[in-house]
Amino acid sequence: MTRNIVFNVLDIRRGTTVDGPGLRTSIYLAGCTHACPGCHNPDSWDFKGGVTMTLDEIMEVIDDEDFNVTLTGGDPLMHPHTLPALIHAIKERGKSVWLYTGYTIEQIEADPLLAEAVTEVDTIVDGPFITTLRDPDLLFRGSSNQRIIDMHERHHLHI
């Protein structure tokens, strides 16, 4: 059944340290409508960008690397119907999941579809990139409005 779930994947970075703590496998999913001015990856906005990969193919890479996983893009929450299957498969393997999104946690919680999509996510980095708030000294985010939210404790991490 999972072979029927497909994602457009822009990139998979293995063993990265910039998208969350420790070594991680970062999956860059295509598609974003936030169109943040100053976005570091505007090519990621195209929903048809990258290569089509099945859930099983993505999981093969995750299994090969054996790192925790970060979902980014684009914006993974632009795929609320298919994203939960990917997150669930990652969690079944005992991995933590960080998710980067241009939505704020308040927007996510106000939308039942988005809220359901993140039920198994461990940490969310929320909010759009804002050029005037850019801060290269921040860990794991680009602008100071973005928050790192521990979804188990439901509080903002001050990293």
HSE value, Cβ hemisphere, 13 Å, CA-based, for 56: 4
pTM, two decimals, is 0.92
**pLDDT one-digit tens code per residue, 126-151:** 999 999 999 999 999 999 999 999 99
Q: How confident is the model at residue 46 (pLDDT cuts 50, 70, 90)?
A: confident
Res 107 pLDDT > 50: yes
Q: What pLDDT, on the 0 to 100 scale, is given for residue 156?
A: 52
| CB neighbour burial string for 18-36, b if at least 16 within 10 angstroms, e if fewer | ebbbeebbbbbbbbbebeb
Calculate Rg over the CA atoms of the chain: 14
Q: What pLDDT, on the 0 to 100 scale, is given for residue 1?
A: 47
Give the single-character DSSP code of 80: T
**pLDDT one-digit tens code per residue, 112-122:** 999 999 999 99
SS3 category, 65 = helix
- Give DSSP secondary structure letters for 24-62: EEEEEE---S---TT-S-GGGG-TT-SEEEEHHHHHHHH
Catalogue all structural domains in the chain, each as residue range(s) with its CATH number: 2-157 (3.20.20.70)
Res 76 pLDDT > 70: yes
Q: How confident is the model at residue 2 (pLDDT cuts 50, 70, 90)?
A: low
Give the single-character DSSP code of 151: T
Res 125 pLDDT > 70: yes
Q: What pLDDT, on the 0 to 100 scale, is given for residue 41?
A: 78
